[in-house]
């Protein structure tokens, strides 16, 4: 069966995904996966075929293999970055190929998935990519900032305060520090600040500071000159240059090594950067928004983060509230997430299931809620999700005091979560990818939980 034939199922108004892989069985798997998520896939087996499809159709996401018969996936990543910037690209890499993964991220990929693929990780990646605010198509009206802020679902006083702060911060060019636990929506808040600001026509460049190897940090952030180091075959701009006239979002900024913190402080102060291998500084026009799930003040006190940089970044702080502080928003969040998870008519939650969610302390916040709902949808046998489908039995029992001493509910849940992660890591010889698959969470989610709980290998 040729998966390149786009007429094999009705497409209607479904969001379209471009799949590029020379292996027919991989194309089949990806095609079926996106179809079950309510999406439509066009499939290509080469760089040339992908180029032709990109010229004919706009896509919400591209998933491409690295090795192709007439080139490699990096060509597609660069092509899309240069000509079709509204389309995020996910790259399929060989298992354990960190070099390819880093190369893909350097070329502008949204994320990567290692083969053999874990379908839950793949679905999570697709949902994350599709949730990114789309830039304007050429010739369309300016960004609808009103609808953008509505992505912060809920009417609680906590989320209303966040909306008000976003409006305020959008009118300023001051650096913003977004604090909050994992899964509270820090990057979404940064994107909304950018979308409502005078810089909305410029690029929004997100950088995960914890995902860049320390040896590549300076060259990735500031760029480099040809011949600056082995492999530097041409001049290359860094993230600061890429964010010209726009916003540079430094996520997990607490993970920056101390030598890089010194250079970042100077760049912010002088509004200039020096590329690796260059003798001169170049002016840059960017707005800095930073975030971390850690408490940055604690990092300063521990000596792992510079106090002077902290004050430069934390000119204005936006705190993203955890889900347990906005329980009245759980019901509308559940409705919205179920519509996102389910392609057709979503199931409903019975009263007991909704009460269980509203009484639950979400360590992973909205991200954890989404994982719970995805599991529940898979387990429910009809159009109703019941409390047993949520998998919260042990947590509900905790609420009655079983097994607890003087510790708080959050401490007890964190202890259970930490033990579960340690057990999974032990069973997989501390292979985080395998442990994430065993626990039924994404690799990124597991990494955040390991950091938050202070688990050391």
Which CATH number is 6-130 given?
3.40.50.2300
426 contacts: CB under 8 Å, gap ≥ 6: none
Nearest one of 60, 368, 418 to 185, comparing CA atoms:
368
Q: Return phi, psi of residue 55, to 5°.
A: -70, -25
Please tell me what DSSP assigns to residue 366. Answer: H
349 neighbors 388 (Cβ within 8 angstroms): no
216 neighbors 267 (Cβ within 8 angstroms): no
406 contacts: CB under 8 Å, gap ≥ 6: none
Nearest one of 121, 19, 32 to 62, comparing CA atoms:
19
Q: Residue 272: count other Cβ atoms within 10 Å of its Cβ.
A: 14
Asked, colleague to colleague, whether 6-130 and 146-321 share their fold, the answer is yes
Q: Residue 81: count other Cβ atoms within 10 Å of its Cβ.
A: 16
334 neighbors 360 (Cβ within 8 angstroms): no
For residue 128, the model assigns a pLDDT of: 61
Give the β-pairing of 348-349 and 204-208: unpaired
- Integer Cα distance of 150 and 447 in angstroms: 29
Place of tokens 């069973």: 427
**Helix pair angle (119-130, 443-453), 10° resolution:** 90
Query: Domain residues of the chain, as ranges?
Result: 6-130, 146-321, 326-453
Domain 146-321 falls in which CATH fold? Answer: Rossmann fold (3.40.50)
Q: Give Cα separations from 121 to 124, 172, 333, 434, 437 (angstroms).
A: 5, 37, 21, 11, 8
For residue 138, the model assigns a pLDDT of: 33
265 neighbors 308 (Cβ within 8 angstroms): yes
Question: How do the pLDDT tens digits run along the chain, 457 residues long?
Answer: 334 433 344 444 678 899 999 998 899 999 999 998 889 999 999 999 999 999 998 898 899 998 899 988 889 988 988 888 778 888 887 755 656 766 776 676 766 777 877 787 788 778 767 765 444 333 333 344 444 444 788 989 999 999 988 987 886 777 889 999 988 999 999 999 998 887 888 999 999 998 888 888 999 999 998 887 888 788 889 999 999 989 999 999 999 999 999 999 999 878 889 999 988 999 888 989 999 988 899 999 999 999 999 988 988 899 999 998 998 999 999 998 998 888 678 888 988 889 889 888 888 899 889 889 988 888 888 888 888 888 874 444 444 444 444 556 667 777 888 888 888 888 888 888 888 878 877 777 788 788 888 887 6
Which CATH number is 326-453 given?
1.10.8.60
43 neighbors 55 (Cβ within 8 angstroms): no
């Amino acid at each position: 069966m040729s998966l390149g034939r786009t007429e094999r199922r009705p497409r209607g108004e479904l969001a379209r995904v471009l799949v590029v892989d020379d292996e027919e069985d991989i194309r089949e798997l990806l095609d079926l996966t996106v179809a079950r998520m309510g999406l439509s896939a066009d499939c290509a087996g080469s760089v040339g075929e992908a180029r032709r499809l990109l010229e004919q159709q706009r896509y919400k996401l591209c998933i491409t293999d690295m090795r192709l018969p007439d080139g490699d996936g990096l060509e597609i990543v660069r092509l899309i970055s240069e000509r079709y910037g509204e389309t995020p690209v996910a790259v399929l890499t060989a298992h354990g190929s960190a070099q390819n993964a880093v190369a893909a991220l350097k070329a502008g990929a949204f994320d990567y998935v290692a083969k053999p693929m874990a379908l839950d990780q793949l679905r999570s990646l697709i949902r994350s990519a599709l949730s990114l605010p789309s830039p304007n198509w050429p010739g369309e009206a300016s960004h609808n900032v009103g609808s953008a802020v509505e992505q912060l679902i809920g009417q609680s006083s906590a989320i209303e305060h966040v909306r008000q702060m976003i409006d305020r911060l959008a009118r300023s060019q001051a650096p913003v520090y977004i604090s909050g636990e994992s899964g509270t929506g820090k990057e979404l808040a940064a994107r909304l600040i950018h979308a409502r600001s005078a810089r909305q026509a410029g690029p929004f460049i997100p950088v995960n500071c914890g995902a860049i190897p320390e040896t590549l940090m300076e060259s990735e952030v500031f760029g480099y000159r040809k011949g600056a180091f082995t492999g530097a075959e041409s001049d290359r701009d860094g993230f600061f240059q890429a964010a010209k006239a726009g916003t540079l979002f430094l996520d997990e900024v607490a993970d920056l090594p101390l030598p890089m913190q010194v250079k970042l402080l100077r760049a912010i102060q002088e509004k200039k950067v020096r590329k690796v291998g260059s003798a001169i500084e170049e002016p840059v026009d960017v707005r800095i928004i930073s975030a971390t799930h850690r408490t940055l003040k604690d990092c300063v006190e521990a000596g792992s983060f510079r106090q002077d940089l902290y004050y430069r970044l934390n000119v204005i702080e936006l705190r993203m509230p955890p889900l347990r502080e906005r329980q009245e928003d759980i019901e509308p969040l559940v409705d919205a997430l179920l519509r996102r998870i389910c392609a057709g008519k979503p199931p409903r939650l019975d009263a007991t299931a909704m009460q269980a969610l509203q009484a639950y302390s979400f360590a992973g916040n909205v991200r954890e809620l989404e994982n719970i709902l995805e599991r529940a949808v898979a387990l429910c046998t009809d159009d109703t999700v019941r409390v047993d489908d949520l998998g919260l039995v042990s947590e509900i029992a905790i609420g009655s005091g079983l097994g607890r001493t003087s510790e708080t509910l959050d401490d007890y849940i964190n202890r259970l979560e930490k033990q579960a992660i340690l057990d999974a890591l032990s069973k997989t010889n501390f292979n985080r990818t395998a442990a994430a698959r065993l626990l039924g969470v994404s690799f990124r989610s597991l990494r955040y939980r390991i950091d938050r709980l202070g688990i050391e290998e």
